């Protein structure tokens, strides 16, 4: 089982998808679960700061019906980060993630607490990171194609705020597990990052 954690816009999602395809494993982007929880609350006209309503929404999620288009984007990422701070929400989502991780043959999960809380016994743990400025620059470049694209300063401020909330919460904060391999992609493009990640996974698997 492969656990991939890291901050917003670190490239962990792309790496997780590529590694899953490369090793022929199913992949779960656990950020989508928190995003869908926030989306369900907003769709029901509920505030994001109601822990009980958020936990109930998390317990009723049906990943088969996720509309990824509506879950992507910085706004939902921010909303997800708010509901993700509630221990009741994290608890409501834990069993689903552990079931996915326990599939025979293995799986790839990416998120913030996979190697620390969800799957502390994962065969391989990667912590993918990059400086806030580099992550903001990548995100800014991605968004530049869209109408109403935010400026670099806004993107950087969003990333810093999300880092602070995800790292500062009491329950399952964003943290590298002590036995995680840190992959800093600040000076790597996606192909180099993938090549390094695949090599790290192979090294771990062969020495496990």
Binding site for ligand DC (CB under 6 A): 8, 30-31, 34-35, 77, 80-81, 84, 111-113, 162, 166
Shortest spacing between CB 110 and ligand DC, in angstroms: 7
CB 182 → ligand DC: shortest distance, Å?
18
Looking at the Cβ atoms of 31 and 106, the one nearer to ligand DC is 31
In angstroms, the CA 16 to CA 85 distance is 23
Query: Smallest Cα–Cα separation from 96: which of 33, 51, 40?
Result: 33
Would you say 36 or 56 has its CB closer to ligand DC? 36
Residue 164 or 202 with smaller CB distance to ligand DC = 164
CB of 6 to ligand DC, least distance (A): 8
Cβ closest to ligand DC, residue 30 vs residue 181: 30
Q: How far is the CB of 36 from ligand DC (least distance, A)?
A: 10
Residue placing its CB nearer to ligand DC in the complex, 24 or 178: 178
By three-state DSSP, how is residue 109 classified? strand
DSSP alpha helix (H) spans, 102-189:
132-143, 152-168
| CB closer to ligand DC out of 158 and 194 | 158
CB atoms within 10 A of CB 140: 19
Strands 181-184 and 124-129: parallel
Structure tokens at 125: 């743990």
Classify 11 in phi/psi space as left (phi over 0), alpha (psi -120 to 50) or beta: left
What is the H or E stretch that residue 125 is in?
strand 124-129
- Which positions ≥6 away from 176 have C-beta within 8 Å? 5, 115, 127, 129, 182
SS3 of residue 135 by DSSP: helix
Question: Closest approach of Cβ 117 to ligand DC, in Å?
Answer: 8
Nearest approach in angstroms of CB 207 to ligand DC is 26
């Amino acid at each position: 089982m492969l656990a991939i954690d890291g901050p917003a816009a670190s490239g962990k999602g792309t790496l997780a998808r590529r590694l899953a395809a490369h090793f022929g494993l199913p992949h779960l982007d656990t950020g989508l679960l928190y995003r869908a929880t926030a989306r369900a609350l907003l769709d029901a006209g509920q505030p994001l700061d109601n822990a009980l309503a958020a936990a109930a929404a998390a317990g009723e999620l049906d990943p088969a019906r996720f509309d990824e288009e509506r879950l992507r984007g910085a706004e939902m990422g921010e909303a997800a980060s708010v509901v993700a701070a509630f221990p009741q929400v994290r608890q409501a989502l834990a069993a689903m993630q552990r079931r996915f991780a326990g599939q025979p043959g293995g799986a790839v999960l990416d998120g913030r607490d996979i190697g620390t809380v969800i799957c502390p016994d994962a065969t391989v743990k990667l912590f993918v990171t990059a400086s806030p400025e580099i992550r903001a620059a990548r995100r800014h470049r991605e968004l530049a194609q869209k109408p109403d694209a935010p400026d670099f300063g806004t993107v950087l401020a969003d990333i810093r705020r999300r880092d602070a909330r995800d790292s500062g919460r009491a329950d399952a904060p964003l943290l590298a597990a002590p036995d995680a391999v840190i992959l800093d992609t600040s000076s790597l493009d996606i192909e180099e990052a993938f090549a390094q990640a695949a090599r790290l996974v192979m090294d771990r698997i062969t020495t496990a």
